[in-house]
């Protein structure tokens, strides 16, 4: 027997004896796949248990702070169109009366009413509790924005934004929560911003006040879930409102250029999405593809309200982080280019 023959017969013997071992990795793979499929099916079977029952807006009482303008007014209209009773809360009485008239145009039955109360949500709110009566859904939308470089924003503006955007959501929520817990039902909505998911140039005062809402929402949701009350945090992009127009008058170029990435939305489009998510009891409400990516990417330890949402987060997170790194690179280069341009302008001014 030549040495070549010997070698091939050894391999054949080896293959014959051990061939089924070769299949082992495939068998294991099949078993793992079967387990995953069974697990996902099981999750879907129990999903009705973790998804809240949708809120019936028809006949419900919805309170909207910041309801006299922009996104808040659009939310009020969207709820009114679905048969809700509305209370609008803001400071300026004339604007409130005007908004009330606009909302009333969308009535679907003659029992519906729109009330308004002039309250500054950033100062204590406890007296308002009795006036309001039972509330099915509270929309915390009153808010304002200030942009500018960190050292150029006056110190008291940092405080003001926390008072209006953050504490202005705490006080109204405190006013309605006890009754909601007693009735074992309700929805609380916080209108944050995409700038509450990503810290960016020009928003050193604004972003923290919007990030804070997310922390409040997560903590509160864990407390009140057993009472069948669901919290929604909305993270809209730039939206075409009077507030946005005002903000644009003094917005740094960098902030404008970076924000443009996510585009500008219309308030009624934003309101539709937010109201749908609040009715369904979704914790997270995002607008547009960038909003979707940002929410999946920054979900952290936030509560999950559907199996599909959880699975999507698991599958997409790594991919979205990869995309985010490119975005961050482009934002850094916007900031660097603007800085160089400013310095060149300054130098040119000096030589003149």
Ligand X SMILES: NC(=O)C1=CN([C@@H]2O[C@H](COP(=O)(O)OP(=O)(O)OC[C@H]3O[C@@H](n4cnc5c(N)ncnc54)[C@H](OP(=O)(O)O)[C@@H]3O)[C@@H](O)[C@H]2O)C=CC1
Ligand Y SMILES: CCCCCCCCCCCCCCCC(=O)[C@@H](N)CO
CA distance 149 to 197: 19
Residue span binding ligand Y (CB under 6 A) among the ranges 116-124, 169-177, 271-279, 321-329: 321-329
Whether residue 209 lies in the annotated active site: no
Binding mask 144-163 for ligand X (x = CB under 6 A): xx------------------
Q: Which of 68, 69, 169, 192 is catalytic?
A: 192
Tokens 């309101």: give the residue: 271
Q: Which of 73, 100, 210, 251 is catalytic?
A: 210
Q: Binding residue for ligand X (CB under 6 A) from 177, 191, 216, 278? A: 191
Asked if 266 and 240 count as a contact pair (C-beta separation under 8 A), the reply is yes
Query: 178-199 burial, b if ≥16 CB within 10 A, otherwise e?
Result: eebbeeebbbbbbbbbbbbbbe
Q: Which is nearer to ligand X, 208 or 310 (CB)?
A: 208
Residues numbered 118-137 forming contacts with ligand X, rule: CB under 6 A: 120-122
Residue 200 CB, shortest distance to ligand Y, in Å, is 6
Query: How many residues lie near ligand X (CB under 6 A)?
Result: 31
CA distance 85 to 253: 42
Q: Binding residue for ligand X (CB under 6 A) from 15, 33, 53, 92? A: 92
CA distance 32 to 18: 23
Query: What are the beta bridge partners of residue 295?
Result: none
Whether residue 250 lies in the annotated active site: no
Asked if 98 and 68 count as a contact pair (C-beta separation under 8 A), the reply is yes
Residue 261 contacts ligand Y per CB under 6 A: yes
If contact means CB under 5 to 8 A according to the sort of partner, which of ligand X, ligand Y, none does residue 242 touch? ligand X
Show Cβ contacts of residue 37 under 8 Å, excluding neighbours closer than 6 positions.
none
Residues numbered 216-275 forming contacts with ligand X, rule: CB under 6 A: 236, 238-239, 241-244
Whether residue 207 lies in the annotated active site: no
Show Cβ contacts of residue 322 under 8 Å, excluding neighbours closer than 6 positions.
none
Query: 207-236 burial, b if ≥16 CB within 10 A, otherwise e?
Result: bbbbbbbbebbbebbeebeeeebbbbbbbb
Q: Binding residue for ligand Y (CB under 6 A) from 162, 257, 311, 324? A: 324
Rounded to 5°, angle at Cα 38 from 32 and 40? 105
The tokens for 296 are 């999946």
Residue 77 CB, shortest distance to ligand Y, in Å, is 20
Alpha-carbon distances of 233 from 17, 139, 173, rounded to whole Å: 62, 10, 13
Residue 320 contacts ligand X per CB under 6 A: no
Residue span binding ligand Y (CB under 6 A) among the ranges 7-15, 133-141, 241-249, 272-280: 241-249
Tokens 């309250």: give the residue: 119
Q: Binding residue for ligand X (CB under 6 A) from 62, 63, 66, 287? A: 66
Q: Which is nearer to ligand X, 68 or 112 (CB)?
A: 68
Active-site residues, by number, are 192, 206, 210
Binding site for ligand X (CB under 6 A): 65-66, 68-72, 90-92, 95, 120-122, 141-145, 164-165, 168, 191, 193, 236, 238-239, 241-244
């Amino acid at each position: 027997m030549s040495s070549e023959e010997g070698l091939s017969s050894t391999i054949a013997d080896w293959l014959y004896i051990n061939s089924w071992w070769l299949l082992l990795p495939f068998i294991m793979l099949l078993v793992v796949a079967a387990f995953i499929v069974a697990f996902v099916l099981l999750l879907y079977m129990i999903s009705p248990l973790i998804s809240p029952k949708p809120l019936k807006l028809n006949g419900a009482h919805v309170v909207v702070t910041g309801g006299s303008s922009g996104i808040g007014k659009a939310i009020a209209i969207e709820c009114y169109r679905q048969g809700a009773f509305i209370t609008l809360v803001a400071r300026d009485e004339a604007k409130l009366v005007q908004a009330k008239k606009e909302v009333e145009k969308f009535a679907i039955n003659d029992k519906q009413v729109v009330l308004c109360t002039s309250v500054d949500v950033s100062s204590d709110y406890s007296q308002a509790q009795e006036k309001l009566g039972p509330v099915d859904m509270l929309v915390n939308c009153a808010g304002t924005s200030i942009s500018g470089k960190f050292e150029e924003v006056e110190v008291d503006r940092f405080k003001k934004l926390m008072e209006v955007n953050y504490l202005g959501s705490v006080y109204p929520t405190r006013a309605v929560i006890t009754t909601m817990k007693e009735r074992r039902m309700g929805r609380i909505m916080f209108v944050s911003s995409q700038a509450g998911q990503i810290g960016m140039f020009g928003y050193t005062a604004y972003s923290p006040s919007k990030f804070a809402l997310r922390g409040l929402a997560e903590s509160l949701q864990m407390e009140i879930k057993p009472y069948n009350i669901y919290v929604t945090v909305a993270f809209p992009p730039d939206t075409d409102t009077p507030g946005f127009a005002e903000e644009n008058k003094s917005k740094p170029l960098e902030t404008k250029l970076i924000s443009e990435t996510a585009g500008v939305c219309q308030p009624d489009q934003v309101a539709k999405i937010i109201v749908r998510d609040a009715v369904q009891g979704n914790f997270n409400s995002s607008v547009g593809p960038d909003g979707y990516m940002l929410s999946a990417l920054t979900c952290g330890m936030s509560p999950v309200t559907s199996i599909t949402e959880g699975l999507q987060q698991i599958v997409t997170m790594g991919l979205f982080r990869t995309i985010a790194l490119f975005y961050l690179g482009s934002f850094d280069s916007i900031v660097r280019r603007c800085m160089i341009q400013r310095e060149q302008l300054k130098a040119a001014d000096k030589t003149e």
